[in-house]
Amino acid sequence: MKQHRFSFIPGFLFILSLIYPANQSPVYSKHGMVVSGSRWASEAGIEILKKGGNAVDAAAAIGFALAVTYPQAGNIGGGGFMVAYTSKGESFTLDFREKAPEAAYREMYLDENGEVIENLSLFSPLAVGVPGSVDGFLKAWRDYGSGKISRREILAPAIRLAARGFPITYRFAGFLNDRREFFERDDGARSIFVRKDGRPWKAGDRLVQKDLARTLKRISRLGRDGFYTGKVAELIEKEIREGNGIMTARDLARYESKYRAPVTGTFRDLEILSMGPPSSGGALLIQMLNMLEYFRLDTLGWNSADYIHLLTEVERRAYADRAEHMGDPDYWDVPLEMLTSKTYAKSRIQDISFSRATPSSEVSAGDPTAYESRETTHFSVVDRFGNAVSVTTTLNTSFGCGIVVEGAGFFLNNEMDDFSAKPGVPNVFGLVGKEANSIQPGKRPLSSMSPTIVLKNGAPFMILGSPGGATIITTVLQCILNVVVHRMDIQEAVSAPRIHSQWLPDVIMTEPRSISKDSERILVSRGHTLAPYRWGYIGQANGILIGKDGFYGGADPRGENAAVGY
Ligand code: GLY
């Protein structure tokens, strides 16, 4: 009998340990570079580049490999976004975000009193959005791959890793052991992620995923039909139906990823290309950079009281706009022009004072009528031909809704929690939303994922992104500022301790060692509230800097991220 006991889960588990920044140099290479959440996946990407594939081919192979070696967020049961700049000087973004099933409706997570039912949008079959990753990876490979790498070759590393298994690290073993209770709530998850003999995982154990290997082989043979129709689709539908969920095989068959125009802006002499709606990431990143451009940032020390004060003031204004104005552009008119306009940014900073924090209760969203005209994973890839690809994918929280599709071997997402279940009620990341992000059939929930490419003199200069829910955007922002303003190399930039704020709650969230006691005192005296970030670390940024002489990879030491070049 199928077992799901998610209603009893008190919350979800995230990595609590903070890994302090390592003192190491960027990884250098001349021909290609991959930085991802798993060494195995980075090596899969390099394997494809060495065969003559381009960065898009490699990105597809990395995406599938992460579904095996980084099952907490790498996925075929979730979704994500790709931002790319090609050697021909073109850019594109691909939206393979999950969609609400056709039977979804606005009040689906509310009880008879109109209150949000705890955990229903997180840990139940109703939490699952229609997955987009398989369609996205294959579409990007088909349309922008080199043409030299077959689908079979794209899937081969992932199939090998799933079928033969891979030796797990000390850290990953601990991570699985910490989540044992979570896995035991689902038969499919238990059968893969709890050791058969009941003992704890240890470093060097092989994690073999036979069912997942079979699913990947189907995709290799049949393309998207190997996932969205036939046997795998039947297994997904059965899994969802048994738990009284609403996603159907018809939803799967109808899923399509979508090319969208990148959201663009400038910061000093740099061009920013990032992901537009249904992600809020790119627009907010550009809006915050626009606001910051009006200040003399170079006179403020890294993470000084004035610097953190300014970041916080800018962040609260941008996140207030996110809550009001941002949602799936197929369903909501997002005022993108306003949000990314330098004039709007200027109007937004007029009431920033360095002597006093603006209470978030005094900050509301801008008026567009005046402007008509914890767990995700990021990887960055560059090749020797001049292509650059930035991809962020997610199941939402770690291991998604916790349900593994039995017989198919992969976790399903809980992305429906990224919708606003009820106006003003925060989601798992504390983000509030309104009508723009309400639930509708076929709609994509608003994301914060911010895969980004920074151009200098018209060519890719920095490729980066991060997991971290609401903190993704401020993580990417701080990494860019670390390089451009604080002159850090890419390794220092992704490693440096971070802070985060997001309008509501009105608090500066901190990593250990991100703020000195002196600065903390000054910030409190101005009216700020500070608190350690509740999940310990903020983001896991993976970036590449392109220099005159080659590629520099920076892998975030907060996880098992790995920069591999050749
Ligand atoms: N699931 C987190 C995000 O998309 O922002």
- DSSP string across 52-64: T--HHHHHHHHHH
Specify whether the CB–CB gap between 396 and 12 falls below 8 A.
no
Is the CB of residue 341 below 6 angstroms from any atom belonging to ligand 1? no
Mutate to test the pocket of ligand 1, among 376, 393, 416, 502 (most ligand atoms within 8 A of CB): 376
Closest CA to 316 of 287, 341, 338, 340: 287
448: CA distance to ligand 1 center in Å? 5
Is the CB of residue 287 below 6 angstroms from any atom belonging to ligand 1? no
Q: Cα(377)–Cα(375) distance, rounded to whole angstroms?
A: 7
Is the CB of residue 57 below 6 angstroms from any atom belonging to ligand 1? no
275: CA distance to ligand 1 center in Å? 13
Q: What is the pLDDT of residues 24-33, one digit of tens each?
A: 899 999 999 9
User: Based on the number of CB atoms within 10 Å of its own CB, is 340 exposed (0-12), middle (13-18) or buried (19 or more)?
Assistant: buried
80: CA distance to ligand 1 center in Å? 9
pLDDT at 424: 87
Average pLDDT over residues 241-254: 97
pLDDT at 369: 61
Question: Which residue puts its alpha carbon closest to atom 2 of ligand 1?
Answer: 469
Average pLDDT over residues 89-102: 98
Where b means 16+ CB within 10 Å and e means fewer, 85-116 reads bbeeeebbbbbbbbbbbeebeeebbeeeeeeb
Question: Which residue puts its alpha carbon closest to atom 1 of ligand 1?
Answer: 396
Which residues make Cβ contacts (< 8 Å) with residue 265, sequence separation at least 6?
A: 271, 272, 285, 286, 289, 290, 340
Q: Cα(438)–Cα(132) distance, rounded to whole angstroms?
A: 20
Whether pLDDT at 19 is above 60 = no
User: Predicted confidence band at 149 (pLDDT cuts at 50, 70, 90)?
Assistant: very high
Is the CB of residue 93 below 6 angstroms from any atom belonging to ligand 1? no
Average pLDDT over residues 352-376: 82
Whether pLDDT at 3 is above 80 = no
Question: Which residue puts its alpha carbon closest to atom 3 of ligand 1?
Answer: 447
Average pLDDT over residues 81-96: 98
282: CA distance to ligand 1 center in Å? 13
pLDDT at 109: 97
Whether pLDDT at 14 is above 70 = no
Mutate to test the pocket of ligand 1, among 128, 415, 500 (most ligand atoms within 8 A of CB): 415
Domain with CATH 1.10.246.130 in the chain: 260-354+368-372+451-561
Closest CA to 104 of 440, 537, 483: 440
Q: Cα(401)–Cα(375) distance, rounded to whole angstroms?
A: 11
Whether pLDDT at 466 is above 80 = yes
User: Predicted confidence band at 370 (pLDDT cuts at 50, 70, 90)?
Assistant: low
pLDDT at 366: 83
Whether pLDDT at 435 is above 60 = yes
User: Predicted confidence band at 374 (pLDDT cuts at 50, 70, 90)?
Assistant: low
Rounded to 5°, the CA angle 18-19-24 comes to 155
Q: Cα(415)–Cα(394) distance, rounded to whole angstroms?
A: 8
Worst-scoring range by mean pLDDT, 17-21, 137-141, 159-163, 413-417? 17-21
Is the CB of residue 275 below 6 angstroms from any atom belonging to ligand 1? no
Whether pLDDT at 339 is above 90 = yes
pLDDT at 23: 59
Mutate to test the pocket of ligand 1, among 97, 413, 448 (most ligand atoms within 8 A of CB): 448
99: CA distance to ligand 1 center in Å? 13
Residues pairing with 33 in the sheet: 382, 565
User: Predicted confidence band at 368 (pLDDT cuts at 50, 70, 90)?
Assistant: confident
Is the CB of residue 398 below 6 angstroms from any atom belonging to ligand 1? no
User: Predicted confidence band at 9 (pLDDT cuts at 50, 70, 90)?
Assistant: very low
Closest CA to 49 of 69, 30, 71: 30
What share of the chain in percent tops pLDDT 70?
Answer: 95
166-167 and 459-464 strand pairing: unpaired
Question: Which residue puts its alpha carbon closest to atom 4 of ligand 1?
Answer: 447
Q: Cα(1)–Cα(194) distance, rounded to whole angstroms?
A: 18
Is the CB of residue 449 below 6 angstroms from any atom belonging to ligand 1? yes
Write down the architecture of domain 260-354+368-372+451-561 according to CATH: Orthogonal Bundle (1.10)
Question: What is the average pLDDT score of the chain?
Answer: 94
350: CA distance to ligand 1 center in Å? 31
What share of the chain in percent tops pLDDT 90?
Answer: 91
pLDDT at 8: 31
Mutate to test the pocket of ligand 1, among 395, 396, 450 (most ligand atoms within 8 A of CB): 396
Average pLDDT over residues 248-268: 98
35: CA distance to ligand 1 center in Å? 20
- The pair phi, psi for residue 326, each rounded to 5°, is -110, 135
The catalytic residues are: 376
User: Predicted confidence band at 371 (pLDDT cuts at 50, 70, 90)?
Assistant: low
